[in-house]
């Protein structure tokens, strides 16, 4: 039987609810051979995850997830096999986190104006000390009874186009990819359905453009993917000669319907997918 891996997940270093060590412990419980920890804009969770992985016999691939500019939908680039100690990567992440800090203050003010007062401290309390993102706002809004569910918090208030949405200052796709390459990693287009392309041709055009900027791989399995979407991205990966990746985008209690390794039961990422990505990363690694 092929061992299963999960190459996209979050911890309390960003907007997941399990600590990096707990994520790895759960991966072991689930029988996963390897995971990638891919927190938003930070590598802070990696040392703890890697140490836990050594202890528990689960390979931990050092990763990160960066949001990039896109006119429609959202574009997330996952980096895998990055060097967690890369100084330039840390510097660039710090700038992204500073930008988030300004955005968080705006969201706080807007929610107050909208009659749903929250404080930055309350939001920070949900973040476990990690990078603060919209899921933490959603959690506070549920707790304070402003909305019934996290989904409602996004759908009515926090999602793009809603009254408490503020964009982050985003990097260009080329910059995001270069930042991952410079840190020794491979760059993966995450959850391609979020690009909101109208069909296979349009998606292939968007992916081809990213490939032109150095993209190495595309997720062909992700948490919301249908069988049809997975087949379509497989075809695009083949034609564009991109590697495949995939993962659940596990966030613990912030996405309670997602189970690591299997997402909603429809994904199954095998160890050979990881090996191909490892081979692509090897020439880039610096020692």
For β-strands 75-80 and 186-189, DSSP reports them as: antiparallel
Given the structure tokens 């569910």, which residue do they identify?
A: 149
Member of 6, 7, 12, 15 binding ligand AMP (CB under 6 A): 15
The site map against ligand AMP for 200-239 (x = CB under 6 A) is ----------------------------------------
- Say how far apart CA 272 and CA 4 lie, in whole Å: 9
Q: Closer CB to Zn ion, residue 220 or residue 248? A: 248
Q: Closer CB to Zn ion, residue 15 or residue 219? A: 15
CA 260 to chain centroid, in Å, comes to 13
Member of 9, 11, 12, 15 binding Zn ion (CB under 5 A): 15
Instruction: Using CB under 6 A, count the residues that bind ligand AMP.
Output: 9
Least distance to ligand AMP, CB of residue 224, Å: 10
Contact, 195 vs 206, CB < 8 A?
Answer: yes
Q: Is the alpha carbon torsion for 120, 75, 150, 47 positive or negative?
A: negative
CA distances from 284 to 35, 83, 182, 186, 280 (A): 20, 10, 8, 8, 8
Least distance to ligand AMP, CB of residue 71, Å: 16
Stretch that binds Fe ion, among 83-91, 110-118, 185-193, 221-229 (CB under 5 A): 185-193
Q: Which residue is nearest to ligand AMP (CB)?
A: 133
Phi-psi region of 81 (alpha: psi -120 to 50; beta: other; left: phi over 0): left
Member of 249, 254, 260, 263 binding Fe ion (CB under 5 A): 249
CA 138 to chain centroid, in Å, comes to 17
Least distance to ligand AMP, CB of residue 240, Å: 25
The site map against ligand AMP for 116-155 (x = CB under 6 A) is -----------------xxx---------------x--x-
Regarding 76 and contact with Fe ion (CB under 5 A), the answer is: yes
Member of 6, 21, 40, 50 binding ligand AMP (CB under 6 A): 40
Given the structure tokens 């991952």, which residue do they identify?
A: 180
Regarding 41 and contact with Zn ion (CB under 5 A), the answer is: no
Q: Is the alpha carbon torsion for 249, 254, 256, 260 positive or negative?
A: positive
Least distance to Zn ion, CB of residue 16, Å: 7
Burial bucket for residue 160 (CB in 10 Å: 0-12, 13-18, 19+): exposed
Q: Which of Zn ion, Fe ion, ligand AMP, none binds 76 (CB below 5-8 Å, type-dependent)?
A: Fe ion
Regarding 6 and contact with Zn ion (CB under 5 A), the answer is: no
Least distance to Fe ion, CB of residue 96, Å: 14
Q: How many CB atoms lie within 10 A of CB 44?
A: 20
Where do the H-state alpha helices sit in the chain? 20-29, 46-56, 87-113, 120-127, 134-143, 150-152, 173-182, 200-212, 227-239, 271-281
Instruction: Using CB under 5 A, count the residues that bind Zn ion.
Output: 2
Query: What is the contact surface with Zn ion in residues (CB under 5 A)?
Result: 10, 15
Query: What is the contact surface with ligand AMP in residues (CB under 6 A)?
Result: 15, 40, 133-135, 151, 154, 159, 251
């Amino acid at each position: 039987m092929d061992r299963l891996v999960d190459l996209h997940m979050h911890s309390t270093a960003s907007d997941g609810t399990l600590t990096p060590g707990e994520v790895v412990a759960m991966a072991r419980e689930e029988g996963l051979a390897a995971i990638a920890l891919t927190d938003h804009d930070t590598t802070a969770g990696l040392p703890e995850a890697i140490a836990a992985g050594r202890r528990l016999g689960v390979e931990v691939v050092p990763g990160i997830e960066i949001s990039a500019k896109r006119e429609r939908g959202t574009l997330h680039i996952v980096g895998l096999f990055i060097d967690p100690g890369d100084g330039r990567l840390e510097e660039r992440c710090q700038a992204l986190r500073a930008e988030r800090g300004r955005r968080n203050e705006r969201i706080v003010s807007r929610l107050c104006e909208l009659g749903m007062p929250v404080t930055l401290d309350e939001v920070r309390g949900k973040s476990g000390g990690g990078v603060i993102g919209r899921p933490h706002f959603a959690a506070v809004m549920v707790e304070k009874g402003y909305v019934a569910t996290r989904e409602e918090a996004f759908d009515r208030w926090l999602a793009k186009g809603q009254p408490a949405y503020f964009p982050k200052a985003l990097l260009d796709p080329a910059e995001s990819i270069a930042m991952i390459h410079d840190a020794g990693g491979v760059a993966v287009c995450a959850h391609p359905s979020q690009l909101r392309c109208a069909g296979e041709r349009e998606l292939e055009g968007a992916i081809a453009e990213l490939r032109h900027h150095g993209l190495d791989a595309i997720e062909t399995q992700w948490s919301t993917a249908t069988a049809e979407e997975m087949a379509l991205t497989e075809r695009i990966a083949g034609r564009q000669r991109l590697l495949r990746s995939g993962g659940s985008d596990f966030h613990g209690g912030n996405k309670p319907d997602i189970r690591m390794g299997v997402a909603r039961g429809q994904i199954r990422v095998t160890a050979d997918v990881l090996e191909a990505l490892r081979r692509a990363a090897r020439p880039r690694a610096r020692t």
